[in-house]
Amino acid sequence: MTRPDVLDRLRGCLVVSCQADEGSPLRDSGVIARLARAAEQGGAAGLRVQGFADVEAVRAVSPLPLIGLTKTARPDTDVYITPTAQEGVRLARLGCEIVALDGTLRPRPEPLAEMFAAVRAAGALVMADISTLPEARAALAAGADLVGTTLSGYTPDSPRQSGPDWALMDALRGAGLPFVAEGRLNTPADAARALAYGAQFVVVGSAITRPDVITRWFVEALKG
């Protein structure tokens, strides 16, 4: 599948993020692969998967386009989503059509342009996870193929809010920038609204693949 074909296949569709944090009963690559297969059965057009082992497990059972990433805590930076070119290149070589990397303007171990070039040379598209419009502009100028609203609400420069960052999506659309909607899209109505705001496609994780998180929403609502 060529790079343009991947984006055409995902346009207007749902990508399901299949991830589980350490400590979750679902934290097993085999379980992640089954979540991916369930998402595929439900009609997902693509999958977002974290970590080399999970990517390998999912790639073995699903032909859907993969957005791969790593989450690596480092003492020298707050950047943790695929912070190095080496990680990004490995994801591409494991079969990820798209590699997601932190595209914020925070201090990082390697320059964005060099990382993006390395991933593209390995055969994958680059999705830069950003939190603001200036970050989106900078990431695209550095060679990203598209940006995701993934990190809005998780950086000092973006507003903390309980729902999706509609203002950011509106600004990205107004600037004519290709973007993916991701982050706190917790209902089908949110997903549909994100497409109406101009998103290329929509990524949903917790509301589909994290029963512990969904349970917590209900528990907190009953306490409320």
**Residue 99 is encoded by which pair of tokens?**
């590699």
**Cβ count near 179 (within 10 Å):** 27
| Best CA proximity match to 74, nearest among 50, 108, 104 | 108
- Has residue 149 got a pLDDT over 70? yes
- Has residue 73 got a pLDDT over 80? yes
User: What integer is the mean pLDDT of 122-146?
Assistant: 98
Give, in order, the Cα–Cα distances in Å from 163 to each of 16, 153, 166, 201, 205.
18, 9, 8, 18, 14
Give, in order, the Cα–Cα distances in Å from 108 to each of 47, 131, 142.
26, 15, 14
- Has residue 2 got a pLDDT over 80? no
Question: For a pLDDT cut of 90, what percent of the chain falls above it?
Answer: 98
Residue 77 contacts residue 105 (beta carbons within 8 Å): no
Write down the pTM of the prediction. 0.96
Question: For a pLDDT cut of 70, what percent of the chain falls above it?
Answer: 98
User: What integer is the mean pLDDT of 144-152?
Assistant: 98
Tell which CATH architecture fits domain 3-223. Answer: Alpha-Beta Barrel (3.20)
What pLDDT was estimated at residue 4? 61
**Cβ count near 86 (within 10 Å):** 13
What pLDDT was estimated at residue 35? 98
What pLDDT was estimated at residue 3? 63
Which DSSP symbol is given to 50?
Answer: E
Parse the chain into domains and list their residue ranges: 3-223
- Has residue 185 got a pLDDT over 90? yes
- Has residue 224 got a pLDDT over 80? no
pLDDT digits (tens, 9 = 90+) for 4-59: 699 999 999 999 999 999 999 999 999 999 999 999 999 999 999 999 999 999 99
Q: How far apart are CA 155 and CA 149, in angstroms?
A: 12
